């Protein structure tokens, strides 16, 4: 699929009201998260305040949105996939809290607010991350599954995406690569695990919640993998092109930490082209849905064009 087709698709997408779509689904996800999590007054209150502080700090909710949109593309409703949508957001938020710690990226600013450890101290921030990771699996364990997918299949999906072969593997490789010159191939290894794995699992969990067919699951996997990689390439680009205010986190961190990123390894223009190519591949993966995946397409388009 060429760039012209991509532009045509983008034009077609303008008839879809993404803003209204996103607002309704984020509201449902936030309400469900609020119900799944222990209340702020549950003892010890500090840990529940810390968990909720980062979870409700204003993230884009891309993983839950992709999860819900995937379920809908497979003919499912939002209610059935909410436990999966909330679980992926809890894993994501845990990873951000831990990534921001002084022992890792040592960041002061996230989602437009001081980072968890800046507000609650390092010990509580470590525990808030741990508690959100555990909470994710408690939430997902409440999922009823679907005809083709038993609840434990969904739990396994999230465990694999967050474990030492995927999310953690990406973070370890990222830490070990600091200050070193990386090949584009090694950088891709990191990005596939650090970012793409959880986005891909989010989409797959949505499909599984909606009892997707094997062909639909394969299409969603292809979509999720490519959109996940595009997401990280764009994140790398935004780190050098946007301000801290617009990102809600410290801009220029990758350069300061001498981290290998797409722009530093292949250059800014080639990075932009790579993000477009990956997004085109994601669009192409949706062909089997024959027009029932408008929300997924619109989200992929938004991710490509986003400025935060
Ligand atoms: C297991 C500690 C640990 C880390 C895993 C996810 C991760 C690796 C580190 C977090 C920092 C980082 C740059 C991750 C790459 C994925 C990414 C771009 C995260 C930011 O996601 P957004 O933009 O954030 O969706 P919001 O705040 O909008 O939810």
Task: Report the b/e string of 100-127 with b at 16+ CB within 10 A.
Answer: bbeeebebebbbebbbbbeebeeebbbb
The atom number, within ligand 1, closest to the CA of 63 reads 25
Ligand 1: does its nearest atom lie under 6 Å from the Cβ of 107? Answer: no
Ligand 1: does its nearest atom lie under 6 Å from the Cβ of 202? Answer: no
Phi, psi of 114 (to 5 degrees): -60, 145
pLDDT in tens, 257-299: 777 889 989 999 999 999 999 999 999 999 999 889 999 999 9
CATH number of the domain at 196, please: 1.10.600.10
Domain that holds residue 9: 3-304
pLDDT in tens, 36-79: 999 999 999 999 999 999 999 999 999 999 999 999 999 999 99
CA distance 90 to 93: 5
Ligand 1: which residue has its CA nearest to atom 27?
59
Helices 294-305 and 62-73: angle between axes, nearest 10 degrees? 150
- Lowest mean pLDDT across 13-17, 56-60, 104-108: 13-17
Q: How many residues are there in the chain?
A: 308
Ligand 1: does its nearest atom lie under 6 Å from the Cβ of 248? Answer: no
Q: Which of 64, 89, 107, 194 to mutate to test the pocket of ligand 1 (most atoms within 8 A of CB)?
A: 194
pLDDT tier for residue 9 given thresholds of 50, 70 and 90: low
So what's the pLDDT on residue 183? Answer: 92
Q: Which of 62, 89, 95 to mutate to test the pocket of ligand 1 (most atoms within 8 A of CB)?
A: 95
Ligand 1: does its nearest atom lie under 6 Å from the Cβ of 168? Answer: yes
Residue 11 has pLDDT above 70, yes or no: no
Work out the mean pLDDT of the chain and round it to a whole number.
92
- Lowest mean pLDDT across 89-93, 113-117, 141-145, 164-168: 141-145
3-class DSSP string for 4-71: HHHHHHHHHHCCCCHHHHHHHHHHHHHHHHHHHCCCCCCCCHHHHHHHHHHHCCCCCCHHHHHHHHHH
So what's the pLDDT on residue 192? Answer: 97
Ligand 1: does its nearest atom lie under 6 Å from the Cβ of 172? Answer: no
Q: Average pLDDT in the 121-144 region? A: 97
Residue 4 has pLDDT above 70, yes or no: no
Q: Average pLDDT in the 91-98 region? A: 98
pLDDT in tens, 169-216: 999 999 999 888 899 999 999 999 999 999 999 999 999 999 999 999
pTM for the model? 0.93
Q: How many domains does the chain have?
A: 1
Instruction: Give SS3 for 113.
Output: strand
So what's the pLDDT on residue 7? Answer: 40
Burial bucket for residue 199 (CB in 10 Å: 0-12, 13-18, 19+): buried
For residue 94, the surrounding DSSP H or E stretch is helix 78-100
Higher-confidence residue of 248 and 158: namely 158
Instruction: Give SS3 for 109.
Output: strand
């Amino acid at each position: 699929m060429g760039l012209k087709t991509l532009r045509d698709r983008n034009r077609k997408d303008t008839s879809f009201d993404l803003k209204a779509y996103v607002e309704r689904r984020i509201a449902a996800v936030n309400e469900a998260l609020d119900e799944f999590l222990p209340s702020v007054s549950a003892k010890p209150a500090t840990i529940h305040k810390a968990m909720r502080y980062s979870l409700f700090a204003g993230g884009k909710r891309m993983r839950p949105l992709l999860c819900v949109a995937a379920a809908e593309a497979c003919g499912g409703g939002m209610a059935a996939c909410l436990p999966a949508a909330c679980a992926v957001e809890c894993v994501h938020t845990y990873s951000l809290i831990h990534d921001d710690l002084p022992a890792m990226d040592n960041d002061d600013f996230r989602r437009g607010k001081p980072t968890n450890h800046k507000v609650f101290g390092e010990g509580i921030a470590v525990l808030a991350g741990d508690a959100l990771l555990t909470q994710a699996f408690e939430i997902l364990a409440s999922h009823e599954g679907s005809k083709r997918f038993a609840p434990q299949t969904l739990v396994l999906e999230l465990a694999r995406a967050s474990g030492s072969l995927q999310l953690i593997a990406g973070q370890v490789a990222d830490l070990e690569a600091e200050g070193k010159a990386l090949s584009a191939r090694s950088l891709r290894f990191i990005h596939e695990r650090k970012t793409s794995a959880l986005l891909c699992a989010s989409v797959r969990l949505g499909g599984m919640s909606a009892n997707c067919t094997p062909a639909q699951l394969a299409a969603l996997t292809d979509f999720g993998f490519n959109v996940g990689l595009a997401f990280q390439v764009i994140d790398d680009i935004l780190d050098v092109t946007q301000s801290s205010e617009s990102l809600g986190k410290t801009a220029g961190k990758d350069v300061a930490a001498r981290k290998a990123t797409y722009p530093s390894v292949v250059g800014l223009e080639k990075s932009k082209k790579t993000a477009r190519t990956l997004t085109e591949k994601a669009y192409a993966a949706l062909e089997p849905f024959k027009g029932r995946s408008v929300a997924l397409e619109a989200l992929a388009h938004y991710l490509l064009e986003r400025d935060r």
